[in-house]
């Protein structure tokens, strides 16, 4: 009986230690004035980066960020261009693993119903997995939420979460914008055990 109680006590200590070593973390890019992130928890969130895209401006009244290609024109495409994307990067503090629970963002395509987006993630900036391969974007300057929850994406210590949005249009157009705001990632950090 004593042996059974000792085993139960040891298991309780191990479960309690593991639970106490976990904490919540959040990263948010509001995108109403700049490309910076706000974080809570044991993580570092880097500034939003753009590849073959540029910020045109920010819509007044916290409306969001307007993005387009540097030329000002979107080519007609049948799918995402892997060389044109928005990237968000989150790294755990030293000695922590990450579990990504939820990713959400508000997106629209201003003045056109031809806008689309692919949303993908990776832990190495190379091997991306789709969260959504093709989202038709609502037309207008008021973006709508796209939410992915119950993800349980594991990012080990020493790696980072790379989240990318690949916008494209199915028709040639100029001076039309991807509207983006409130990119949020909810995570959990756990002390890394070697």
21 phi/psi in degrees, rounded to 5: -80, -5
pLDDT of res. 52:
98
Q: Tens digits of per-residue pLDDT, 155-180?
A: 999 999 999 999 999 999 999 999 99
Band of pLDDT at residue 8, cut at 50, 70 and 90: low
Q: What is the tens place of the pLDDT at every residue in 19-38?
A: 446 899 999 999 999 999 99
pLDDT score recorded for residue 22: 85
Closest CA to 132 of 93, 112, 103, 97: 103
If you average pLDDT over every residue of the chain, what do you get? 92
Model confidence at 7, pLDDT cuts 50, 70, 90, reads low
What are the residue boundaries of the structural domains of the chain, listed by start?
Answer: 23-191
Comparing 101-110, 125-134, 185-194, the range with the smallest average pLDDT is 185-194
Confidence of residue 11 (pLDDT cuts 50, 70, 90): low
The domain defined by 23-191 folds into Jelly Rolls (2.60.120)
- At 61 the pLDDT is 87
* Stretch 111-137: mean pLDDT: 97
- How confident is the model over 108-119, as pLDDT tens digits? 999 899 999 999
How confident is the model over 124-147, as a mean pLDDT? Answer: 96
Contacts of 28 (CB under 8 A, 6+ apart): 37, 38, 39, 45, 182, 183, 184, 185
pLDDT at 82 over 80: yes
Nearest by Cα to 169 from 99, 46, 69, 59: 69
């Amino acid at each position: 009986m004593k042996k059974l109680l000792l085993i139960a006590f040891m298991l309780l200590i191990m479960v309690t230690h593991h639970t106490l070593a976990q904490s919540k973390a959040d990263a948010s890019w509001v995108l109403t004035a700049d490309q910076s992130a706000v974080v809570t928890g044991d993580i570092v969130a880097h500034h939003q980066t753009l590849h073959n895209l540029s910020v045109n401006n920010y819509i007044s009244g916290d409306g969001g960020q307007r993005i387009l290609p540097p030329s000002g024109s979107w080519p007609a495409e049948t799918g995402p261009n892997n060389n044109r994307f928005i990237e968000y990067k989150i790294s755990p503090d030293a000695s922590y693993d990450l579990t990504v629970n939820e990713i959400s963002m508000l997106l629209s395509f201003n003045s056109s119903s031809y806008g689309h987006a692919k949303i993908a993630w990776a832990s190495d900036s190379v091997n991306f997995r789709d969260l959504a391969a093709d989202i038709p974007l609502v037309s207008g300057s008021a973006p709508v939420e796209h939410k992915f929850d119950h993800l349980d994406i594991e990012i080990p210590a020493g790696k980072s979460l790379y989240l990318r949005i690949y916008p494209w249009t199915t028709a040639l157009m100029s001076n039309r914008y991807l509207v983006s705001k409130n990119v949020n990632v909810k995570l959990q950090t756990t002390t890394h055990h070697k």
